[in-house]
Amino acid sequence: MMLKRMIIGSLILAACLVKMNAQVWKDPNASLDERVEDLLSKMTLDEKISYCGSRIPGIERLGIPSFEWYGEALHGLKAWNCTQFPQNIAMGSTWNPDLMFDVATAISNESRALKNLGQKEVMMFAPTVNMARDPRWGRNEECYSEDPHLMSEIARMYVRGMQGNHPKYTKTVTTVKHYVANNVEKRREFSHSLVRDVDLYEYYFPAYKTCIVDEEATGIMTGLNGLNGTPCSANNWLVNNVLRKDWGFKGYVIADWAAVQGLEKRMRFTKSQEEAAAMAIKAGVDQECFRHKTKPAPFVTALKPAIEQGLLTEAELDVSVRRLLRLRFMTGDFDDSSLNPYSKIPKEVLECETHKQLALKAAEQSIVLLKNDGVLPLKKNIDKLAVMGPFANRCWLGIYSGNPKSKITPLAGIQNSAKGKVSFAEGCSVTGAEDDQKKIDEAVELAKKSDTVILIVGNDETTATETRDRLSLSLPGNQHKLIKAVKAVNENVILVLVPSGSTSIGWEQTNIPGIVCAWPNGQEQGTALANVLFGDINPGGKLSTTWVKSENDLPHLHDYNVITWKDDYGPEVGRTYMYSQVEPLYPFGFGLSYTQFEITDTKLSTKKLKCMKDLVVTTKVTNVGEMDGDEIVQVYVRDLTSKRVTPVKALKGFKRIHIPAGESRTVSISLPYEAFSHYDVDAKDFVVEEGDFEIMLGQSSERIVTSNTLMVNGGSIPKISVGQKSGYFNADDENRTKKWDYLYDGDAFKSTKKEQAEDAVFDWVEYEIVFVDPGVYVSTWDAELNFSHASKEAIVVTSMSGVEIKSYTILKNQRKLPIKIPIPPEYGKPVRLRIKTIHGEVKHESIKIIPPGNKQPFVIHKVAAKSK
């Protein structure tokens, strides 16, 4: 009997030991929660803490390699040889969520391809859904619209395309940013956004809620700013109450760059880094964005002392680490690759022909025709066509862009399409330079000799970017001067804008016969522009923001109020087309076409809308012109009986539709009951006030072509959280069932890459450079090439990772050549800069790297590789 008991005890002990040593976290058949708990139980305190920064060291004893939780995918991967699509402000102007899904699918496929190559992870800091409430904001171009409904519908399809539709695995992790009301760059780390609840819930929150609740986005990034007196990265109400409790968010929250550190250092909200770290964790923040070659994130450094000081418990830390581990399991990091369909995405998707054609389609659909006095489209056989302006021979992709191999400038696109002679003059620099007058004179002389002039102007990161707001909405530098000088000698001027948003072109609107907004429009921008200018494509894009006449028509940049109100400190103000009383230069939703559309026979599905029922608006759209084209039908709602301040009109539905010339299409747009609701600050809930509403159909927010009155029953909108869906969620949308490869034909991945023979033809050298993070966002670094010898007018071409940057001509006796180097995709990792001599003879001595900010320049003498 005793022996039997000993045997049973031994078996029980063995079973317990097996269970204790079981690798449940490695078992793909175990539940997600079980796997997370098992791995968490095996981690030391230091290992848990390490997950709270962007660079996560490996756990060798568990066989887990190091990991970087950092990636940028705003409108294409910020990497080498990856497709760059139109900037977000341009994608918003397509008014085409389905196209956004296609673009996001392509971006996420390239992300997975790089992960499968072992080059990059799939934690992406996008989309940006900060509202484009003010065009002076330095990052205005990063977001889709000033309107919460249009913003929500475009952003939802970005999230859906990026994360994919697999029931178990997430293709990429999306991180919706910057939560919330983060629309000022100057001293953003020190400032607070003062926002009333009604503006938060009706204007600033909706796009985040759509991404989180409807599309179940995996992450949120908190802003560097504070909200109503509390920093966003320590805001318990904002993160734990609204995001996690009310919306049911289960993903991770990351603080923007060193924002947890900033709770003490910049916001003065805590007395120590330990207190800041503890406060962030308790507020629901899990991680701090921070990458340094040797230093961990300040958040990581402070967490262990915070626990030792009793400010935080390990159990509280575990809550955050669970959320971070959960996402690594969801991406399939700990499973055999054969189980994950995304592991099959090949490297051939990178900047493949399918993606370039998609980038072209997106660029074409984003272009907005602002004015046309019968001068467009142009004929291709113009004898003498001049193309000029600082953006003419430049493929400006916008901020937070990668480096594709193929970039088509406007000049190149026009040269490829035009049949006559095409001449070029720069005209002036972007922001003004000493030799601008000389360049303007050259442009004027060329304009005198030309039949037609295409003038391409705009603004770039020198006037608007992260850390820099626009001081003026006028074109910077001498660009207005250039336009007026050219127009004075040639009446046939087409103005093309490459802006970050609303631009003050009142004189141009009055005096220039044709104006096109072409945006920072991705790597195929030149071809897209040419296709529109010459009529191969009929422009159908419409503005996703209001274009004001001047910055003087805007409230103070730091005023986050949206709804019109008046105080003792200034005039009555209101933001966006919904509340502004100021006549705009171009209204929200505006865009012309080479054809004409008529909207008729509008019908409502009911005359009285019952609580929680949908309204279906049906109308007939006819193309009465002579060219096939796209129309965007816009449905606006206005409350006719409410006693509260309501929008003049608010977009609640839209649809882009292609209609051949002479044909008609019936369009049906569904508006859910919640489209008629407003946020009741007393009830702290969305309610519908019973009464009459005007349903307006328009071709812009100002061009309303038909309207009907609808009686709506009063009621409350049920609260929803993750697992439930809003009235705008379409479960039958085919985008919710598509697999990763639906974009491609069977032979899409056949390589068309030509073998490079430059090693045998040209001399080249390569310098290996490790770029350190300068602490500020820049798109290029300055550098200086030094030569011991260079023949007269030798020509060199710089490139990185196969991507050509720029060619330079070395002047007689010149031994130092200033150059620009694109920002590398990742700091702290060596990259090689190749300098190829395509004419003459050059002997290299060194390269001097000049970092931005206060970093010291450094010189590299060693050549890492050279031609044989």
Kind and range of the H or E element at 386? strand 384-388
DSSP 465: B
The dihedrals phi and psi of 676, each to the nearest 5 degrees, come to -105, 10
Tokens of 231: 């920093």
CA distance 246 to 243: 6
Tokens of 162: 């990026």
CA distance 221 to 445: 52
CA distance 416 to 233: 50
Peptide bond into 300 cis (omega under 30): no
Contact 620, 666 (CB under 8 A): yes
CA distance 349 to 743: 10
What is the SS3 assignment for 365?
Answer: helix
Contact 716, 678 (CB under 8 A): no
Q: What is the DSSP string of 707-752?
A: EEEEEE--EEPPP--BTB--TT--TT-GGGT--TTTT--TTTT---
Kind and range of the H or E element at 39? helix 32-41
The dihedrals phi and psi of 223, each to the nearest 5 degrees, come to -75, 165
Q: How many other CB atoms sit within 10 Å of the CB of residue 792?
A: 12
Let me know how many helices (H) and strands (E) the chain has, helices first: 21, 36
Q: Name beta bridge partners: 654.
A: 634
Q: How far are the Cα atoms of 39, 134, 549 from residue 474, in angstroms, in the given order?
A: 56, 14, 9
The HSE-up count of residue 277 (CA atoms within 13 Å, CB side) is 26
As a whole number of angstroms, the longest Cα–Cα distance in the chain is 113
CA distance 163 to 109: 10
Q: Name beta bridge partners: 423.
A: 386
Tokens of 261: 């550190």
Contact 677, 687 (CB under 8 A): yes
What is the SS3 assignment for 289?
Answer: coil
Kind and range of the H or E element at 276? helix 273-282
What is the sign, positive or negative, of the torsion defined by CA atoms of 769, 113, 751, 360? Answer: negative
CA distance 107 to 402: 12
DSSP 811: P
Q: How far are the Cα atoms of 582, 584, 592, 794 from residue 549, in angstroms, in the given order?
A: 9, 6, 19, 47
DSSP 586: B
CA distance 168 to 749: 26
Tokens of 170: 């997430």
Residue with tokens 């990161």: 461
What is the SS3 assignment for 6?
Answer: helix
What is the SS3 assignment for 781?
Answer: strand
Helices marked H in 314-385? 314-330, 353-366
Contact 287, 324 (CB under 8 A): yes
Considering the candidates 147, 199, 256, 286, report the single residue annotated as catalytic: 256
Q: How far are the Cα atoms of 407, 489, 739, 804 from residue 113, in angstroms, in the given order?
A: 21, 52, 15, 22
Peptide bond into 851 cis (omega under 30): no
- 256 catalytic per annotation: yes
Q: How many other CB atoms sit within 10 Å of the CB of residue 293?
A: 12
Q: Which residues are catalytic?
A: 256
